[in-house]
Structure 1
Amino acid sequence: MYFFLLAIIYVAFISLGLPDALLGSAWPSMHQYLNVPVSYAGIVTIIIAAGTVISSLKSDYLTRKYGTGLITACSVALTACALFGFSISQSFFVLCLFAIPYGLGAGAVDAGINNYVALHYKSSHMNWLHSFWGVGASIGPYIMAFALINFNSWNGGYRIVSIIQIILTCFLFITIPLWKKKEHTSKEETEILSLKQILKVKGVILILITFFCCCAFEHTAGIWATTYLTNHYGIDPNIAASYGAYVYLGITGGRFACGFFSNKVGYKTLVRGSLVVMLVGTILINIQALCLLGLIIVGVGVSPVFPAIIHYTPINFEAKYSGAIIGIEMASAYVGIIAAPAIFGFISEHLSIGIYPFYLGMLVLLMVIFSETFNKVIS
């Protein structure tokens, strides 16, 4: 049962990753179809991420009351409905309306499953879990590219992914009893904290800022990669849509590889090494001949940071507080997802899309500052 439930969790994270890269891959075509500026991708991202922030903050309460299994199944179902709504959207306003349930569905399942794995499984499983998110995120752009090339329709890409999500939802509802058996044994080990109490815990604010920068980097890199390749290097949008998956391929491969040694490497070493690789990747993106390699390296570099911060939360802090702290960590991450891509969209429209690698480099430097400060505080 231990490994069967783990397989179910992996499937759930594939479903979580599937739609994440669709917007970036489809946007060069979508904004023309919807007759809106290229920077409006930031508005959609803001709405989605705002929903995830709200549901992440409520995830600890929801999973305690209804269980991780039921919340996961319902959240994936909500996401599936939202993606189908994307596929039938004929205006930017309607797209924004469906972005609301999309965000609400993603936040609860993300925070709930991350806490579940942090408490019940090893560091290697946390990396492989997020590697499976990368599997979904990597497949997404290829599905979109297939729809654009064969049907000349971004709507078709969203429709395909919504159908996959519906199938996964049915599977998750069938397996709900398996989650309940394991959760029942650990309810007494956790403790409810208010937001004010969480922020007073030593080091929490520093890790929240680090997490903010990590997800700001990851999602800015993924969402704007296709637009950068199209507008800066002149690559055809239909072809660039699949190239946009390179960041997520790097993330997937990096997390899969880290799963084999993350149990032996400490938190500090893992994060420091990741930051160096991320910086190298941002430099290569600025060189046309090496740009695609740079996108992969950027993905490989950032890949272990998210799982490491989540998995070490019960270790860096107290395990009984992990549900509440991971919930606010996820909220902080999604604030980064809200702010960073949107800010980049605004800046690039007024300056140049060519600032893409420099913007990513700035986020890496901020991560260095706050992660090292956190290391000193908890040591």
Structure 2
Amino acid sequence: MIDPRTLLTALAFLAFISLGLPDGVLGVSWPSIRSQFGLPLDRLGLLVAVTTAGYLTASFMSGYLLCILSIGTVLAVSTFAASTGLLGFAVAPTWSLMIVLGFVAGLGGGAVDAGLNSYGARHFSPQTLNWLHAFFGLGTTIGPVIVSLVLGSGRAWWLSYAIVGSAQLALAMTFLFLRRRWEEVGELSAGNKEEAVPAPALETLKRPIVWLGMLVFFFYSGVEISAAQWSYSLLLLGRGFSEGAAGTVVSLYWGSLMVGRIAFGFVANAVPLIRTLRLCLSGSMAGALLFWLDISPVATVAGLMLMGFFFAPVFASLISLTRDRVGRDHADSTIGFQIAAAGLGGAVLTALFGMLTRSFGLEAIGTSILVSTALLLVLFVGFTTGVARRPSQ
């Protein structure tokens, strides 16, 4: 018989793959979507913005939801919402309906992300959390493959969303069937430790350490995503890389991030997290400096890959540290706020870097990445040296 902890851990891994799938599907299917509805190319931004709004709303409210519903119920309902949005894409007759469905899909994804991270901070080791986030990268990798196979076989784009949405629906039904197991396993993991009563979300927001943590997630996610989104344009249009070479470099960046998460998972339980993350963020700043200096093509590529590799353990490890930094009674709400701040940071810094290129040219991208990474290190030091409930590593 399968151990309940093993079963739920495997289910969490599947959930993180499912979180990454829609991100990978949208970009590749967009040319076909815009062609069907007769849309301009930049209308993709509207769909992304609305989906992000749903994601942020659910993430921000996740602490409240976990106070009134069990984690199993939250995961089941949220995954069902995500599947509804994705399956709706496959049959939506109008662009306006797709926009509405994008918000629904974002709500589901944000609640699943925040809910699993909150649960993982209580019951999963740093090793498991790092591997969970590596599986998110696996989902974003599988998504484009699904679309490519569908389009390559002569089928329409909507079949990709039917496949991904059906997988989400199956996951939702599994979450529903096992919804009580999450609390049972949580009680076993906690042992005799007394669980703190969750504090009201407004009380959590009054704590400066919470806002500092949100800023760390804002800048971390912002620079991680912006580096991927804008490095291709900088390499292709500003530094003489070919289309194929620039695309390969971006793939190497994402690959470094995924490999780093897998590798760090093997040592995460045996190293002092705070000290190790300071070294990693220092290493990522060194990579950003190398990318900015543009000494040679090889050095530029190495700098971007170093950034990806050293960024790898940051997100999941910060989730692991949050309960110690803010206290157990504020942890669930704080993690939800942090997930929301991460999503907002990815959107805001990506847009800001683009605006800076209009005034200062493409090289503003490298400068912005370097400055943001340095600021991230400063904020992280502030977050991990603030007042905590328990001594940290």
Q: TM-score range by the shorter chain?
A: 0.7 to 0.9
Match of 1:210 among 204, 211, 216: 216
Report deviation, 1:332. 1.7
Structure 1 residue 248 displacement after superposition = 3.5
Query: Is this contact kept in 2: 1:25–1:223, CA < 8 A?
Result: no
The alignment status of 1:368 with 2:381, answered yes or no, reads no
* In the alignment, structure 1 residue 313 sits paired with structure 2 residue 322: yes
CA distance in 1, matches of 2:373, 2:69: 38
Contact 2:67-2:198 within 8 A present in 1 as well? no
Is the CA contact 2:150–2:157 (under 8 Å) kept in the aligned structure 1?
yes
User: Given residue 136 of structure 2, which amino acid in structure 1 is its aligned partner?
Assistant: W
Residue 199 (1) aligns with residue 208 (2): no
Q: CA deviation at 1:310?
A: 0.7
SS in 2 for 1:366: helix
Equivalent residue for 2:312, pick from 303, 310, 318 = 303
Q: Which has the larger radius of gyration?
A: 2
Question: Judging changes above 3 Å, is the alpha-carbon distance between structure 1 residues 172 and 128 closer, same or farther for their aligned structure 2 residues?
Answer: same
User: 3-state SS of the aligned residue for 1:264?
Assistant: coil
Q: Which amino acid aligns with 2:139?
A: G
**Pair 1:36 & 2:45 matched:** no
Residue 47 of structure 1 is matched in structure 2 by 50
Single out whichever of 78-87 and 182-191 deviates more from structure 2.
Answer: 182-191
Alignment pair present for 1:84 and 2:87: yes
CA contact (8 A) 1:49 1:337 kept: no
CA contact (8 A) 1:128 1:259 kept: yes
Please give the secondary structure, in 2, of the residue aligned with 1:19: helix
Partner Cα distance (1:255, 1:65) in 2: 33
Residues 1-379 of structure 1: pairs in structure 2 closer than 5 A: 1-24=4-27, 35-38=39-42, 40-87=43-90, 93-147=96-150, 151=154, 155-183=158-186, 189-224=195-230, 233-235=241-243, 240=247, 245-282=251-288, 283-284=290-291, 296-348=305-357, 355-378=364-387
Alpha-carbon displacement from aligned partner over 1:247-267 (angstroms, at most 9, x marks no partner) = 443332211111111122223
> 2: distance between equivalents of 1:115 and 1:357?
34
Does structure 1 conserve the Cα–Cα contact (< 8 Å) formed by 2:60 and 2:337? yes
SS of 1:58's equivalent? helix
Q: Is the contact between residue 5 and residue 185 of structure 2 (CA under 8 Å) also seen in structure 1? A: no
CA distance in 1, matches of 2:257, 2:71: 25
Supply the distance in 1 between the matched residues of 2:234 and 2:160 (Cα, whole angstroms): 21
State the alpha-carbon separation in 2 of the partners of residues 72 and 30 from structure 1. 29
Amino acid at match of 2:282: V
Q: Is the 8 A contact 2:130 2:316 kept in 1?
A: yes
Amino acid at match of 1:129: L
1:53/1:331 contact within 8 Å kept = yes
- How big is the shift at 1:374? 2.5
Q: Deviations over 1:81-132 (max 9, x none)?
A: 3233445568765543332112111111111111111111221111112122
1:199 is displaced (CA, Å) by: 3.0
Give 2:335's aligned amino acid: I
Counterpart of 2:172, as a letter, is T
Instruction: Give 2:344's aligned amino acid.
Output: V
Q: Cα distance 1:267–1:101, how it changes in 2: closer, same or farther (>3 A)?
A: same
The answer as to whether partners of 2:75 and 2:112 remain within 8 angstroms in 1 is yes
2 CA distance for matches of 1:107 and 1:206?
A: 21
CA distance in 2, matches of 1:153, 1:223: 27
CA contact (8 A) 2:127 2:265 kept: yes
Deviation at 1:28, TM superposition (A): 7.2
Q: Secondary structure at the match of 1:20?
A: helix
Aligned in 2, Cα 1:48/1:230: closer, same or farther, shift over 3 Å? Answer: farther
Deviation at 1:360, TM superposition (A): 2.6
Change (3 A) 1:188 1:268: closer
Using the size of structure 1 for normalisation, the TM-score is 0.83
- SS of the residue corresponding to residue 334 of structure 2 reads helix
Looking at structure 2, the residues matched to 229 and 159 of structure 1 have their Cα atoms a distance apart, in angstroms, of 36
Residues 89 and 95, structure 1, Cα contact 8 Å, conserved in 2: yes
Q: Give RMSD over aligned pairs.
A: 3.5
Contact 2:123 2:186 in 1 (8 A): no
Residues 56 and 110, structure 2, Cα contact 8 Å, conserved in 1: yes
SS at match of 1:261: coil
Name structure 2 gaps, 5 residues minimum: none
Select between 328-337 and 224-233 the one with higher mean Cα deviation: 224-233
